[in-house]
Structure 1
Amino acid sequence: MTVATPSDTALAGASGDRRPVYLDHAATAPVDPRVAEEVLTYMSYEFGNAGSRTHSYGQVAKERVNRARQEVAAVVAASTDEVIFTSGATESNNLAILGLAAHGEVTGKRHIISTQIEHKAVLEPLEVLRGRGFEVELLPPTEGGWVAPEAVAAALRPDTLLVSVMAVNNETGVVQPIEEIASLMEGHDAFFHVDAAQAFGKLIAPFQTKRIDLLSVSGHKIGAPKGIGALITRRRGFKRPPLQPLMYGGGQERGLRPGTLPVALIAGLGLASALALKEASDRLARCTAIKEDLLRALAPLGVELNGDPERTIASTINVSIPGVDSEAAIVALKDVVALSNGSACTSQSYEPSHVLLAGGLPPERIEGALRMSWNSATSDVPVDEIARRLQALQRAR
């Protein structure tokens, strides 16, 4: 079967017209053509149910699921039986946070530490627990957009149940000091959860630390389809995190996530994970080159980076151009590039970014914030045309 490449789909619309270059990979990434072919194979040919034990169709499906567990586990140096497949990072976050509630209630550990800059998929489950009597402490970020490890360590208490800190902020691209936090938590019983939706398959070393108990994975950020993800549930010694399921019926995924396994989507996540690990250094180099080109082109406009540039992932920047409103910029650039001014999950809301507000940025910086994000397959980014149009908005103000 023939699958269109990302460059094919990015350049030609339904009428054959050239489409804008896609710079919103933090919202979702195009499916890698190699992954798409794998998914289609397990949708249309090897379509068996991995739970069927009486024929070869089921056995082939089961073997592919097992191989996908190996591929996902290899990225984070986990065991295959520590990989629980979910519908995505949002479900994984909910399972990690709400799934610990019963343990916290039984043990009297009702204190939870997180940050003010988390994704809503973490903040909203935390609010649910707050309503159930848990004490939720949200730490502010530093001026550079990252949470100080020492602040996390200082907040730990004997009754702390959970620490939940994202790996890479979805709006600013700032990498959080996960390894340092993990190190400072050594010797404490609190569970450490990391929302790695923006970082899995892009950063490797930070997630291989064994002190991370729970790790949320998203497939559609790394070239797998939407609707598939995973929760890594690392054992401490021989003990698994004491999670309770959010749904019941069927007993799949060690009883934590019932339902027929979506074999085709799982195969896609597995292959996307294997490719991310194999191609990590090449992808990093390509993404870094794009970032440098963008910042070079924007520098004459007095660009302001919203987030510590020394801590930003290679595939995302969040910038404000003095005198330029983000909505006006998006309109001016709509036929050139597709970009955003915040999280896709809150794009229907016109409220200021909670992430940038927590960072203490002035209103004009927040109103002008633009997020640009890409992957290693992104090509022909028109950096000079982007700068020219933004400069025209500056001059017209």
Structure 2
Amino acid sequence: MANYSGNDVAYLDFAATTPVDERVAELVLRLMRDDFANAGSRTHEMGVHAAREVSKARELVARALAASPEEVVFTSGATEASNLAILGLARANKGAARHIVTTAIEHSAVEGPIAALERDGYEVTRVAPDRRGHVSADDVLAAVREDTLLVSVMHANNETGAVQPIVAIADGLRAEPAFHVDAAQTFGRLNEDLRYPRIDLISVSGHKIYAPKGVGALVARRGDGRPPIAPIMFGGGQERGLRPGTVPVPLVAGLGLASALAEAEGAARGERCAVIRSDALDALGSLGGVFHGEGGRTLPHILSVAFPGIDSEALMVALRGVAAVSNGSACTSASYKPSHVLEAMGVDDEVLRGTIRISWSHDVADPPWHDIAGVVRMLS
């Protein structure tokens, strides 16, 4: 067990990023330092060996999602994967389908490219969540029209941990439109949902599952009658022409190994995270905290909570010597804008401004819940 900080401050921001698993780091370092050849260099044995490492990683990611290796496209992360899925689908769209269904709680990696298409004339329907942060499968399916090109729904929200009903949505869709799922927070944790064959496009992130930053994947299933995707960048033709550029062999191999480890250890990891969550609710619940996402299916390692009368910025400053937490998505935290997720949930302004996100790992030492509670009491 560890706190990952190198000092007395407990790192509790795992939804933003995870450390690299030591077993993964060992493989990555070896491929960086010793077996460093370009996987595209097929004229010598070192290049062939590098290509084998990429193929192995592709097989491991595919196996985790019951996909075929040919359906895995390596990217720089889930953001690029989502852009490729959404913009690539639009680029390949030759018909009159110019309507998109998504939710009001999507990560900026999805909302950004969809908003870009909206500016180009696409019509977008954004389904609102309930007050717990969950969208209704019926509401999503009711928004689908004859001219709908894409349905894009995140698997679990990065701020609240609320898990969305992607299987029910997939089960209710016709052969078209295409269905994209942002699985940045759930790949390696809820893979069983993601194996549903009607989910056409899945965005995967490495640095959420103890792989290095800078690597991810798009899984693009090739079912009959489903719209293809076209490249949005052009170059050397790597990754089946969908993602050009030299393949980062060490990072890709790290993602493959991290995928396999998550698959093998997922149940135990989830159980440990659930125990930590229970302890957190016990320690913080008596302080009058408002917990977002509770009462529905929620990831066991993310807790979104606000304490009445306490501003999140003030609380995070007071916690600097105790725990590293956040007040929303790390990808947009520099903008200091109110959480669009909490706004869509109808959270009032005081609670919204006071919300922090606490997230942990299966292998952390017991978090200092009582110390955190003490800081909250001091600010109350």
- TM-score band by shorter chain is over 0.9
1:141 is displaced (CA, Å) by 0.8
Residue type of the alignment partner of 2:191:
I
Aligned residues of 2:277 and 2:300 also touching (Cα < 8 A): yes
Find out whether 1:10 has 2:1 as its counterpart.
no
- Secondary structure of the residue aligned to 1:328 is helix
Which of 352, 360, 366 is the aligned partner of 1:374?
A: 360
Show structure 1 runs of 5+ residues with no match.
1-5, 13-17
1:383 is displaced (CA, Å) by 1.0
Inter-partner Cα distance in structure 2 for 1:271 and 1:232: 17
Q: Provide TM-score, normalisation by structure 2.
A: 0.98
Counting aligned pairs with the same residue, the percent is 54
Find out whether 1:354 has 2:348 as its counterpart.
no
Q: 1:240 to 1:72 in 2, by over 3 A?
A: farther
Which of 378, 386, 389 is the aligned partner of 2:372?
A: 386
Tell me the alpha carbon deviations over residues 2-33 of structure 1, each in whole angstroms, 9 at most, x when there is no partner.
xxxx83x7252xxxxx2411110111111111
Partner of 1:200: 187
Q: Provide TM-score, normalisation by structure 1.
A: 0.93
- Secondary structure of the residue aligned to 1:138 is strand
**CA RMSD between the two structures:** 1.3
Find out whether 1:101 has 2:95 as its counterpart.
no
Partner of 1:48: 37
Find out whether 1:278 has 2:271 as its counterpart.
no
Find out whether 1:189 has 2:176 as its counterpart.
yes
Partner of 2:303: 317
Partner of 1:135: 123
Show structure 2 runs of 5+ residues with no match.
none
Partner of 1:15: none
1:323 is displaced (CA, Å) by 2.0
1:304 is displaced (CA, Å) by 1.0
1:102 is displaced (CA, Å) by 2.6
Aligned residues of 2:132 and 2:296 also touching (Cα < 8 A): no
1:70 is displaced (CA, Å) by 1.0
Inter-partner Cα distance in structure 1 for 2:11 and 2:192: 28
Partner of 1:168: 156
Which of 80, 84, 89 is the aligned partner of 2:78?
A: 89
- Secondary structure of the residue aligned to 2:334 is coil
1:380 is displaced (CA, Å) by 2.8
- Secondary structure of the residue aligned to 2:236 is coil
1:56 is displaced (CA, Å) by 1.2
Aligned residues of 1:224 and 1:269 also touching (Cα < 8 A): yes
- Secondary structure of the residue aligned to 1:145 is coil
Find out whether 1:64 has 2:53 as its counterpart.
yes
- Secondary structure of the residue aligned to 1:286 is helix
Inter-partner Cα distance in structure 1 for 2:231 and 2:196: 25
- Secondary structure of the residue aligned to 1:250 is coil
- Secondary structure of the residue aligned to 2:218 is strand
Q: 1:346 to 1:207 in 2, by over 3 A?
A: same
Find out whether 1:228 has 2:215 as its counterpart.
yes
Inter-partner Cα distance in structure 1 for 2:65 and 2:228: 21
Aligned residues of 1:216 and 1:230 also touching (Cα < 8 A): yes
Partner of 1:156: 144
Residue type of the alignment partner of 1:380:
D
Partner of 1:214: 201
- Secondary structure of the residue aligned to 1:318 is strand
Partner of 1:36: 25
Q: 1:11 to 1:145 in 2, by over 3 A?
A: closer
Aligned residues of 1:234 and 1:241 also touching (Cα < 8 A): no
Residue type of the alignment partner of 2:264:
K
Partner of 2:244: 258
Aligned residues of 1:301 and 1:322 also touching (Cα < 8 A): no
Aligned residues of 1:72 and 1:274 also touching (Cα < 8 A): yes
Inter-partner Cα distance in structure 2 for 1:308 and 1:63: 45
Which of 302, 319, 323 is the aligned partner of 1:337?
A: 323
1:309 is displaced (CA, Å) by 3.8
Aligned residues of 1:10 and 1:19 also touching (Cα < 8 A): no
1:241 is displaced (CA, Å) by 4.4
Aligned residues of 2:104 and 2:344 also touching (Cα < 8 A): yes
Inter-partner Cα distance in structure 2 for 1:111 and 1:276: 36
Tell me the alpha carbon deviations over residues 187-206 of structure 1, each in whole angstroms, 9 at most, x when there is no partner.
24100000001111011211
